[in-house]
Structure 1
């Protein structure tokens, strides 16, 4: 899990690094936002990408979206610096699980 957490942190850091240089060419959509209103967010994404979003396609796409499983409480132990960065992103994206500092 530590490797996956590290890769997630690197990816989010790169997203943050490119957010400003890309300006209005950057589109961010979180998983929780998408699940809250998939039809609206799919339409917005298609508009951003300058793609058509026919009603039949939207109906089919929304019908395929499944509700997420109940989040499991993870007990992730990370090195101190990673714990801080991981928890900062978890809070920013409103994810429940926070890491614990690895003491071993």
Structure 2
């Protein structure tokens, strides 16, 4: 084999090696972008979970306040009933029904 043919053979091997390295780099870039996207999705999911948790806490607080409201409503109804003889307190009726 001549020296020129041997040099061409080595050049072909080098080109094939460089092509393989380019493909590996493309795969690494793809993996890196996939990991970045997964990280962003995880952060977004954690934000959504945090918002859901806060919403549940707000609803629980609202439910707790709602159970305390009938007494205040009855006070308001008593004031309004003193002005009108035919006034009927729905909140008081509901409380009395619940007690039975």
TM-score normalised to structure 2 length = 0.22
Between 1 and 2, higher relative CO (CA 8 Å, sep ≥ 6) is seen in: 1
TM-score normalised to structure 1 length = 0.21
- Mark the structure with the bigger radius of gyration: 2
Greater share of helix: 2
